[in-house]
Structure formats: structure tokens, C-alpha cells
Structure 1
Amino acid sequence: MKIAVVLTVKNENRLLRNNLLYHDAIGVDRIFVYFDNTTDQGKESISDFEFVTINDSVSAKKYGHLHYLEKFTSQAREHHTARQCLNTFDAQQLCKKEGIDWLISLDADELICTHFIKPSNLKSFFKGIAKNVEVVNFNTLEVLQRRESYGNVFLEETLFKQNRKLKNGRPIYKKLFNPFTETSTKFSWWYGQHLGKGAIRIDREIIPHNVHRFKRKDGSKADTLNKGNILHYHAYDALDFIKKFTNFSDHPNTFLSGNKVESIKLLLRDIVNTSGMDVMELKEYFKENLLFTEAEVKDLKKEKTYFLFKKLPSPLTEIISVQKVFKSLILKK
């Protein structure tokens, strides 16, 4: 059983090395990292890893002859996610040459988690997958933004949002100040993607549908299993918030699918890039708008009364398995 991970990264130097160390520790054999117009020291930070293959994003011309990738090759210049899908397809071809069984497609701010308490074991996880399954979808859990600054957030943070809404269907809101209109508006407490990420069995005819889903080469639906989780460390502190939306500065107002990008993401993109705020002001903005206060965290941890007698569990969950992996890595140094 050989497992690989593919990542497309841009200016992820704070997270990248620790991401790769974590996945190596839980059973990944090979990691393919594609750098997409990066300007930081990301390449240099991982150049000593023998289990990593480093490339730049592949050219759309490389796969322009494949009609089933036309959605990505035709939009690769404009859409980062199109380049990400092409990089994933390219990594699939490398996996075939190296005899790899499974390929997981991730971002640098995402970790695979198959157990909340014990360190994940990907070899065991994939050995338990039925042979007919072509794709495994991992459900997203998002980190709770409760510090202005982290050193290694993978080691230091253990609280995650497990539901976008309460069990009774009611959404959970934060308030966001719009400096352009000088008004405040409610927005979801879940800031990043909720569609998850996937792993593909290499010996099947599977291709990306988008960055979250896969399909068969002929367009038909793959045999898919929903199991395990992706931990998404999205805008986890002030500097990551600034970096995230700086990277988003040239993102079009629509996704690869043609759907409109959520208004909250467009607003945060514009706040970081065109509001005129300097770094200190953006850090303060993060603190006042995106950070969860101690009082909010305490309230979120509580069970809620629903219809007088029924209790709704907390939308938060604690995950300590990742922390255990990093503590083990520190002891090995």
C-alpha cells in the first residue's frame, strides 16, 4: 500500500513544511508539491525532504490535447483552481509510474484526520476501503479562529467547527464591518470551503471534476465513499488572514463552475487589497471581526436547549490527534 499527497501552493511558507512533516508521519509515502506563482521561500523550506517532488504548476499546453480536461486547460490562466486540477492530474501520472495506490489532493492549510484522539494511520485507513471504491471524500472541519497569532497552529490549536449550522438548522453568525459602506452585516461563522477534499484510487480511470470532487474519465459518477475528515486551517490568525486574501487579490468574481464567489469572500478580498488599510490595521480588523472572543468560545462550547427539553450538542469538537503527532515529531528531534 503506497499513498501520495498532491498540493498546489502559493506563499504558504508558514504552513508548508509542517504540513508535509505531518503527512509523512501518518503514512504518506510521496508528496507532490506544485508551486503556483509563489514569491516566498516555500521551495527552499522543503528542499531537504527526500519524500517530496517539487514542480511548478504544469502548463495548460501539456494536456491541451485531452478533451476531457478542456474545462481546466481553457481556464488555467484565469483560475488557480483550474491549474490545481491540472496539477492533480499530472501527479496521477507520476503516481502510476511510482506504483502508488492512492492520491489525496489537498491545500497547504489542510490536514487529513481519520481519528480525533489517536494519531491517524493512513495505511490502516486505506486498507479498510472496499476494492470497488474509486474515490474517498473527506468531510471538512474548520479550525476555530481564537488567537491573533500562532507559531505552529497544527500543534497549538485543537478546537474545530464541526457544523455550519446548529442541529436544528439555525445558522451561526458573526458580525462583519464593511469599511466601504460603514455598515455591519451578519455572515456565517464558517469562513472557508465546506465541500471537503478527496482521495483517488490510481488504477482507475478517475479525473478531477473540480478541486473538491472527482469523476470517471467518461464523465460518469465514480464509486465514492464518504469517510474521514479534512481539517481546514483557514484564516486561522491575523497574518494568515492577510496572506489568504492577498493571494486572492486577482481571483475573478466567479468560480471555475461559473457560480458567483460568495459576497463575504469578495468583501474580505477587497478589504485586504483595496481598502487602504496597512498591516497593523488589517490585524486589528481580524481581531475585531473574525476572531472568536473567550465569551463566544465559552458560549459555543455549551449545549443548547431546543424546544424546552431537547438538547443540541455544541457545534465545536476538540481534536487532539494532530497535536499528538507534532509532539512526537518534537521528541524525535
Structure 2
Amino acid sequence: MDWILHLDTDELIHPAGAGEYSLRQLLRDIPGDVDMVVFPNYESSVERDDIKDPFIEVSMFKRNYDHLPKDTYFGMYKESTRGNPNYFLTYGNGKSVARVQDHLRPNGAHRWHNYMKTPKEIKLEEAAVLHYTYAKFSDLTSRRDRCGCKPTKDDVKRCFMLEFDRSAFIVASTATEEEKLNWYREHVVWTDKTINLKLLRKGILTRIYAPSVIIEGLKESGVFSSVIAKAPATLSQDKFLASIESSNSSRASGTHSQPPRKIIRNTDHQSHATVRKALEATELHEAAVPPLSPPGPTMETHDNNLIVQSR
């Protein structure tokens, strides 16, 4: 295993710019001295309120700030947000893929870190994480049911870090079914075709069909059902580690990536010096990287001219 990433169940990797639309090829071409690769995230922009299978039915996405000219991003900010708190409904700081190496640790769900050094990180200019957030109307209530907070502006801060998530939770907890659907249509569903076309022409929105075509093909061929049927009910730690080691040993040689690393268990005979040093180093590390909203505009006046700047 050469690389590791954290991907949620409502996300897919979009390896744009790689030969054969291959994540493996994309990572194989990363320079050997790079420790981490950031995939900026694109956010799903659903056009209907009755989506059942987002990975197949959704093809329109809002592009990340990092993949847009700044003049376009801030110039179209109002049309892009449609009255919502931020440019994206949820996070905008992408996901990081890390090269497997000693002392690696997760730094929240969005980044990785290393106990013993400052990792070298690059950001991709074409590839992205596709985030299918609130792509189904039922996502409103499913998120509500996972949280025990009271539906008040103060209490929801215990469960949610982003403003849209907080608002959605309160609506899902207090509104009628009709009110929830109307709120969902107003804040999530992109029904104005004129605005959609304008933002598509400006590059704010984009069409991405590859994931839908691939997943639909896999479903029709029976691959998904076959994998699920063959999957064991449980997988012990020993079997999991053995499967990883077997996978590493069978990997083809001659790639540009670093050699696969064998996973081993700690034993009583190992030196504790490195462990102590790593624990001491953690005291200097910042808190885990949280989900962050994209940059927003601040309005300032200068010489009677209106200036739009990033926060």
C-alpha cells in the first residue's frame, strides 16, 4: 500500500488529467519527494428534489475556489451562493492523499501529518473530490437523526461546525414535511436553468459524466452485487493485515512511487525512543484541520470604489 486517503460515503475521486481516468496513474506520476497531495473538492449541484442515486443521477458540480480565476469566483459570488451562508453548502478545503510512511497520522478528515517532520504537500490543478452533499432530500432527516442536539442556534454548534449544516438541522427538526421540501428546493436544488447556464458558461458550474457512466456500468454488469455477496461478514485484524501484506508483495514493480511498505505490529522488543520523541512532538502540533468553508467576500470601500476581497 503506497497511498492512503480519507473518503466519505458521499464522495468520489475525480482523477481528471490522468491517463485512462486512473487514480493509480495520477499518484504514480507524483514526484517522489512529495508526501501529500490535496484534491480540491467540487460540490454536487442537484437539479431535482427526487434524486435516489446521486452517483448516477447527478452530473452538475460547483467548482472549487482553487480551480477558478479569482475575478470569476468573487464576481459571481452572489449568483453562486443563492442566499446560502457560503459558496459551498458544506466544506471547501478538499481532501488530502498521503504517501504511506513512518510516523504518518491523520490530522482530521481533511489532512494528514507526520510526527517527525513537516510533510511536503502539493495541490492538484485538475483532479478533485466530488462531494455529493445533501444530494437527496432524505439527507436532511438522516443527518438530524444522527445528532442529539436541541434545534437551537446555540446548541447545534455542539454538533455542527458549518453554518449550513446547522440551519439544515434546525429546519429538519422543526418544520413540517412540506416546509422542509420547500426549504430544500430553495437552498439546495438548482431549478433556475437561466442561472445554471450562466454559471456553466462562466466555469463556476461544470458537467462531469464519467463517474455516472462508470458506476452505472458496474451496476448493470453485476459487479457490485457480486462483491457484496462474496464479502465476508467479518474480517479479523489478523486477516486484514495479512491481506494488506499479500497485496503489497504482489504489486508490480517498476513504478515511480516509493516501494510498498510492509505493515508490522509493535512488539515488546522495539525501542520506545521513537515513540517518546513522537509523543513529545505532538505537543507542538496544531489542532486537527476541521471542515472549512471556501473564501467569502468582504465589502470595503476605497476611494469611493467598491472592492471585493477574500476573507
Q: Give the TM-score normalised by structure 1.
A: 0.55
Q: CA deviation at 1:243?
A: 2.1
Correspondence for 1:148 = 49
CA distance in 2, matches of 1:241, 1:117: 35
The DSSP-based 3-state class of the residue aligned with 2:40 is: strand
The DSSP-based 3-state class of the residue aligned with 2:21 is: coil
- Does structure 2 retain, via aligned residues, the 8 Å contact 1:140–1:232? yes
Correspondence for 2:185 = 287
Question: RCO higher in 1 or 2 (8 Å CA, sep ≥ 6)?
Answer: 2
Correspondence for 2:89 = 191
**Which residue identity lines up with residue 208 of structure 1 in the other structure?**
P
CA distance in 2, matches of 1:116, 1:318: 15
1:113 aligns with 2:14: yes
**Which residue identity lines up with residue 244 of structure 1 in the other structure?**
R
1:261 aligns with 2:161: yes
Q: CA deviation at 1:147?
A: 1.1
1:159 maps to which of 34, 38, 60: 60
CA distance in 2, matches of 1:315, 1:323: 20
Q: Give the TM-score normalised by structure 2.
A: 0.59
Change beyond 3 A, Cα 1:264–1:332: closer
Correspondence for 1:203 = 101
Stretches of structure 2 that go unaligned for 5 or more consecutive residues are: 150-154, 223-311
Correspondence for 2:210 = 321
Larger Rg: 2
The DSSP-based 3-state class of the residue aligned with 1:187 is: coil
The DSSP-based 3-state class of the residue aligned with 1:253 is: helix
The DSSP-based 3-state class of the residue aligned with 1:172 is: helix
The DSSP-based 3-state class of the residue aligned with 1:234 is: coil
Q: CA deviation at 1:329?
A: 1.0
Change beyond 3 A, Cα 1:301–1:149: same
Correspondence for 1:222 = 119
- Does structure 1 retain, via aligned residues, the 8 Å contact 2:59–2:212? yes
CA distance in 1, matches of 2:34, 2:122: 7
- Does structure 2 retain, via aligned residues, the 8 Å contact 1:117–1:319? no
Correspondence for 2:27 = 126
Stretches of structure 1 that go unaligned for 5 or more consecutive residues are: 1-99, 177-185, 303-312
Q: Which string of whole-angstrom CA distances, capped at 9 and with x for unpartnered residues, describes residues 267-318 of structure 1?
A: 2221212x2x23443223211332111333233223xxxxxxxxxx330111
CA RMSD for the aligned pairs? Answer: 2.8
Change beyond 3 A, Cα 1:287–1:193: same
1:270 maps to which of 156, 170, 192: 170
1:297 aligns with 2:196: yes
Query: Quick check: which one's strand share is greater?
Result: 1
Runs of 4 or more consecutive aligned structure 1 residues displaced over 4 Å after TM superposition: 116-119, 173-176
Tell me the number of residue pairs that the alignment of Structure 1 and Structure 2 aligns. Answer: 208
Q: Percent of aligned pairs with the same residue?
A: 19
- Does structure 1 retain, via aligned residues, the 8 Å contact 2:51–2:137? no
CA distance in 2, matches of 1:203, 1:142: 31
CA distance in 1, matches of 2:200, 2:92: 21
The DSSP-based 3-state class of the residue aligned with 1:211 is: coil
Q: CA deviation at 1:160?
A: 0.7
Q: Which string of whole-angstrom CA distances, capped at 9 and with x for unpartnered residues, describes residues 162-209 of structure 1?
A: 045874223235455xxxxxxxxx533410111111222222321112
